[in-house]
Structure 1
C-alpha cells in the first residue's frame, strides 16, 4: 500500500493556516479590487475538490489504497479553498464566497475510466502548480503572494503522489495503463492547439447538465478563467511550454522512454494501441494459419 507512506510524507510538510501564513504582513495598499476578485474565483474553484473526491471514491471503489489517499488530497485541497476564503474574510469580507456559490460547483460527474481520470488529474496538478506560481508573481500584496506559492507547492506534491499510483497501475495493468496515460497525456499536453484551458475544472463531465457541466461554467463569472490566464497572470506560451515539458518528462520516467515532443508521445500511444489490438486478436484467433 502507498497510503501509509504518502500520509507520513505529506504530513511532515503540511503547513498550518494560523502559524505559517504571515497574516500580520498584509499591506492593503498593494491589493487591488481586480486581484481580490480573482482570489474569490479561485476559492470557489478549489471547493470543487468535493465533487471530484465523490467521483474518485465512486469510480475506485475496488481500490481501498487509493481511496484512502483521497482523505489526504481532499483535506489539503479543501484547505486551499479555506485559506483563500480566510484571506477574504480578513481583508475583503464583502467578496467572501457565499455557501450558495460554493455549493453551485458541487454536482455529479459522470462515471469515467479510472486510469484516464487518474492521468487527467495528474496533469491538472502540474498545470495548477504552474498557474499558482504565475499568480504569486502577478499579485502585489505580500500575504497572498505567499499563499499562492504555498498552494503551488502542495499541487506539486499531489502530482508526485498521483505519479506513484500511476507507476503502481502500470505494474498491475501493463499496456492498458500505458494506453490510458498516453492518451490523456497527448490531450493535456496539447493545450496550445485548443481554445480553452485544459484542466479538470474546465472539462465537460455531465451531458445531462450541458453546457453547465464544467466547474468554471458554474462560477459567478464563467468567463473568469480565460481572462485570469490570458490578461491577468499572463500565462503565455513560455509558461505553457513549462507545463508541456513537465508532462513529457514525467511520461518519460513513467514509460522508461524519452519523449521530447507531444508528437513522440502520440506515436507511442499508437504503438501501445496496436500492441493491445494484436494481443486481443491473437487471444481470440487461436493458432496462426499456415503460410502455405
Structure 2
C-alpha cells in the first residue's frame, strides 16, 4: 500500500494555518480590489475538491489504498480554500465567499475511467503548481504572496503522490495504464490546440448540467479564469511551457521513453493503440 508512507511524508510537510502564515505582516496598502477579488475566485475554485473527492471515492470503490489517500488530498485541498477564505475574512470580509457560492460548485460528475481521471488530476496539480507560483509573483501584499507560495508547494507534493499511484497502475495493468496516461497527457499538454488552459475545473463533467457543468461556469464570475491568467498573473507562453514540460518529463520517466513535444507523446499513444490491434 502507498497510503501509509504518503500519510507519513505529507504529515511531515504539513503547515499550520495559525502559526505558519505570517498574518501580522499584512499591509493593506499593497492589496488592490482587483487582487482581492481573484482571491475569492480561487477560494471557491479550491472548494471543488469536495465534488472531486466524491467522484474519486465513487469511481475507485475497488481501490481502498487510493481511496484512503483521498482523506489526505481532500483535507489539504479544503485547507487551501479555507486559508484563502480566512485571508478575506480577516482583511476583506465583504468578499468572503458565502455558503451558497461554495455550495453552487458541488454537483455530481459523470463516471469516467479511473485511470484517465487519475492522469487528469495529476496534470491539474502540475498546472496549479505553476499557476500559484505566478500568482505569488503577481501579488504585492506579503501575506497572500506567502499563502500562494505555500499552496504551490502543496500542489507539487500532491502531483508527486498521484505519480506514485500512476507508477503502481503501470506495474499492475501495463499498457492499459500507459494508454490512458498518454491519451490524457496529450490532451492536457495540447493547450495551443484547444485554445484554452486545460485543467479539471474548466472541463465539462456532467451532461445533466450542461452547459453549467464546469466548476468555472458556476462561479460568481465565470469569465474570471481567462482574465486572471491572461491579464493579471500573465501566464504567458513561457509559463505554459513549464506546464507542458512538466507533463512530458514525468511521462518520459514513467514510460522509459523521451517526449520533448506533445506530438511525440501522441505518436507513442498511437503505437500503443496499434499494438492492441495486433
> Same fold by TM (over 0.5)?
yes
TM-score, normalized by length of structure 2?
Answer: 0.99
Residue of structure 2 in register with 1:18 after alignment? 18
Describe the superposition over 1:26-49 as per-residue Cα deviations: whole angstroms up to 9, x where unpaired.
000000000000000000000000
Q: Distance in 2 between matches of 1:98 and 1:277?
A: 53
Q: Distance in 1 between matches of 2:215 and 2:126?
A: 18
- CA radius of gyration, larger in: 1
Residue of structure 2 in register with 1:103 after alignment? 103
Q: Distance in 2 between matches of 1:277 and 1:6?
A: 38
Matches within 5 A, 1:253-272: 253-272=253-272
Q: CA deviation at 1:276?
A: 1.6
Residue of structure 2 in register with 1:179 after alignment? 179
Residue of structure 2 in register with 1:223 after alignment? 223
Consecutive unaligned residues of structure 2, counting only runs of 5 or more, are none
Q: Distance in 1 between matches of 2:233 and 2:78?
A: 23
Q: Report if aligned partners of 1:192, 1:240 keep a CA contact under 8 Å in 2.
A: no
Q: Distance in 1 between matches of 2:237 and 2:137?
A: 16
Q: CA deviation at 1:195?
A: 2.4
Q: Distance in 2 between matches of 1:127 and 1:241?
A: 10
TM-score, normalized by length of structure 1?
Answer: 0.95
Q: CA deviation at 1:16?
A: 0.2
Matches within 5 A, 1:236-251: 236-251=236-251
Name the SS of the counterpart of 1:20 in structure 2. coil
Q: Distance in 1 between matches of 2:232 and 2:277?
A: 46
Q: CA deviation at 1:193?
A: 1.9
Runs of 4+ in 1 over 3 A off after TM superposition: none
Matches within 5 A, 1:67-146: 67-146=67-146
Q: CA deviation at 1:228?
A: 0.3
Q: Distance in 2 between matches of 1:64 and 1:248?
A: 29
Name the SS of the counterpart of 1:16 in structure 2. coil
Q: Distance in 2 between matches of 1:178 and 1:222?
A: 34
Q: CA deviation at 1:274?
A: 1.0
- The CA RMSD measured in Å over matched residues stands at 0.5
Q: Distance in 2 between matches of 1:277 and 1:44?
A: 45
How many residue pairs match? The answer is 278
Q: Distance in 2 between matches of 1:71 and 1:36?
A: 30
Residue of structure 2 in register with 1:50 after alignment? 50
Q: Distance in 1 between matches of 2:136 and 2:27?
A: 15
Describe the superposition over 1:65-88 as per-residue Cα deviations: whole angstroms up to 9, x where unpaired.
000000000000000000000000
Name the SS of the counterpart of 1:106 in structure 2. coil
Q: Distance in 2 between matches of 1:3 and 1:186?
A: 28
Q: Distance in 2 between matches of 1:193 and 1:88?
A: 37
